[in-house]
Amino acid sequence: MQLSELMSAPVVTAGAGETLKVAAARMAEGAIGSVLVVEGDRCIGILTERDLLRATAEAASAESPVSDWMTPDPVTLPLTASWNEASDVLSRLRFRHIPVVDDSGKLAGLVSLRDLMKVAYLLATEQREPGVPIEAPPGLDNVAVSRTSVGDVQGQQGFYHYRGYNAVDLALRGTVEDVWHLMHEGDLPTDDQRAEFAARARDARRPSPALLDVLPRLAVLQEGMSLAKMVPAMAAAGQVLGCRSWLDQTDDETREQAFSFAAQAPVLAAALYRLGKGLEPVPPHDNLDYAANYVYMITGKEPDADQVAAVERYLILTIDHGFNNSTFTARVVTSSGADMGSAMASGMAALSGPLHGGAPARVLQMLEEIGHPDKAEEWITDALSKRRVLMGFGHRVYRTVDPRADALHEVATRFGGDTLAFAEKVEEIAVRLLNERSPGRGHYANVEFYAGVVLEQAGIPRDMFSPTFGCSRVIGWTANVLEQIADNRIFRPLAHYAGPAPPRPLPEWWSGATTARA
């Protein structure tokens, strides 16, 4: 199949001198991911959604010319190229859109990753027998399982966003309530909306007496505080809030339940922690916003400005991160028609695994095992030779610096101290040794590496590192659950059976239960 059969034509174009505002409007109107920049009948550049996000992140004016932000002289494909050739180029160069030109170099159309995915699906479904699954890579690597407008991670660029806004910029300038409003309502709040939303959040964060009565029994189920304790707490909250299948209640009821979970998650986490220590829970403070109130409910003391800023930055940075394991889990559970409490409990259960949400405290444990900066190289070399996992390094999506790690490192430097200096030394050595062993793979510290340093500096006990992560993610999970409900189709993948060929005859020696009972 040649590109002339599957490309989009005619294409949406813009002139190099037109503004970003005009180009963005054309993208939105056509529901497309790029515009081709033309001069006459020649393609001289391409402007994609990524370029618009980059421009937004760098505070570019909407009146800036397209030429300032486009990719000039883009890679093109000839009309005679095959589907396989186009697929290879898109995969190898990690592009999403490539202009198509005729023999004279005149623009003929555009081929996108979406076009090729449609063809791949058709080819796969035409060539396979009914019931035979399309093979997917282990862990669903690079497989898009749904569409979302909540947020996205662009691993090659080291960038992620919430509804188009740079998440790091939001963390540096906003509050948890601001981003919560963005995730649930679709945009950042005005000043009036911010005050109204914060007041509503304060009202919603007081759990009912029935739920508070359950917490002491959950707190003593195991020693210490962990995300595992939050799983039954989320399920219990769902029961107390009257959560039913979203199929059996109104959209307004479901949205209100989502809001309540986001408001009450930090209250439940702090109460479980204190009860596990033999202390009385600290009720929410009427005059403190989300981040400050969270620290207050854990410690019983009003935090200072530096503590609040550090915790707030961390919470905002971890609210959402694409279709990560726990977000995907919550959406899968929701797709069955399950209630909000079940979805939140399932997300918390997925996050409790050390490969997902349990790493921040383990980073500090690793530093303690190393003991001293002078021993770091020897310890890390030995750990790598024994194939031990270095906690806080590497990521399934990022192939460059994790922007969350950079942001948290900046927060940590405001506190300073020996632990930070120690962590920086370990990071330097670990990154060097990892890249020496696996050159070209791009090894860097991830969000968990400096998260532990920041949270400890801010006065959060280690037992509460992962629950703190869970509390922020509830905001992202609920936004994703609401989106799943709005356009639901139950997840029902197939599996490639790799066991003995069926049907197997029953062995002669096996009498079966029926004979045994006789």
Instruction: Please state, in angstroms and rounded to a whole number, the distance separating the CA atoms of residues 202 and 192.
Output: 16
Q: Which of 181, 356, 395, 443 is catalytic?
A: 395
Question: Residue 466's Cα: distance from chain center in Å?
Answer: 15
Distances in whole angstroms, Cα of residue 502 to Cα of each of 90, 133, 350, 493: 40, 17, 33, 21
**What does each C-alpha distance from 438 to 192, 344, 376, 434, 442 come to in angstroms?**
52, 38, 19, 6, 8
For residue 273, the tally of other CB atoms under 10 A from its CB is: 23
Q: Measure Cα distances from 475 to 202, 235, 311, 316 in Å.
A: 15, 16, 15, 10
**SS3 state at 397:** coil
Nearest to 481 by CA among 305, 348, 317, 314: 348
Residue 129 backbone phi and psi in degrees, to 5: -75, 150
Query: What's the rounded Cα separation, in Å, for the pair 272 and 265?
Result: 11
Do 357 and 351 touch, CB atoms closer than 8 A?
yes
Please state, in angstroms and as integers, the Cα–Cα distance from residue 80 to each residue in 76, 86, 163, 446, following that order: 12, 10, 38, 43
Q: What does DSSP say about strands 159-162 and 151-154: parallel, antiparallel, or unpaired?
A: antiparallel
- For residue 427, the one-letter residue type is E
- The catalytically annotated residue of 312, 448, 456, 483 is 448
Q: Does 181 qualify as catalytic in the annotation?
A: no
Q: Which position has the token pair 């408001």?
A: 263
For residues 476 and 150, is the Cβ–Cβ distance under 8 A? Answer: yes
**d(C-alpha 268, C-alpha 290), whole Å:** 13
Comparing CA positions, the residue from 143, 484, 186, 506 lying closest to residue 346 is 484
In sequence order, the 6+-apart residues with CB closer than 8 A to the CB of 55 are: 20, 64, 69
C-alpha closest to that of 217 among 196, 237, 239, 232: 232
| Structure token pair of residue 63 | 């009146």
Could you give the residue numbers annotated as active site? 395, 448
